[in-house]
A = this chain, B = another copy of it.
Amino acid sequence: MADHNALPLVVLTEQFARLPGIGMKTAERLAYYMISRSEEEVSAFAEALYAAKREIRYCSCCQNLTDQELCPICADDRRDHGTICVVEGPKDVTAFERTNEYNGVYHVLHGLISPIDGVMPNQLKIRELLARLQKEDVREVIMATNPTVEGDATAMYLARLLKPMEITVTRLAFGLPVGGILEYADEVTLFKALENRNEM
């Protein structure tokens, strides 16, 4: 921004530009938008930032983000605590909850093993998962990490770690996405769909 712009506006623009996926142009637009809002609206935004940072922590059991000691899913007795779905992040929990089909509980790793990005197993919430498996009576652990190199590596690493514990370890099925078009599917997906075909 040119130096004729007021400093507080430049500072706010820079703050917006730090957000992932927000460039300088968009940041400028958002900064102008914010100061066009009423004082109450700006306060509400700033307070929401403070409150989220102050009140959100990890669930002591599944490590998902929550504002309580135990998140609503872990605290829910009607859910099956013998099935743990292991996911990369809180957004994956939201995705599974949207299906309304999963009745087990979760474990959020907060990342995937990725030596290239410098993410090693001890930086993920794996210790907490092992502690849970030792304490609780778990029948099945579902590896629900992304079907990517990092997701597969993390699933494989955990499966090997869990093998001596005599717990069933499963992985999400790979195949054609529902509503997808066969001719646009990549080779690996198509191969997986063929390999995992089911009798009709």
Contacts and interface: CB of A to CB of B under 8 A. Distances in A.
A170 to B, nearest CB: 22
A73 interface: yes
Nearest to A5: B94
Nearest to A38: B53
Contact of A73 (B4, B34, B35, B53): B4
Interface size class of A (residues with CB under 8 A): 35 or more
Give the secondary structure class of A's interface.
helix
A45 to B, nearest CB: 5
The interface centre, meaning the residue of A20, A90, A91 with most chain B CB atoms within 10 A of its CB, is A90
Interface in A33-78: 33-35, 37, 39, 42-56, 65-68, 71-73
B12 A49 contact: yes
Interface of A: 1-9, 11-12, 14-15, 18-21, 26, 28-35, 37, 39, 42-56, 65-68, 71-73, 89-91, 93-94, 97-98
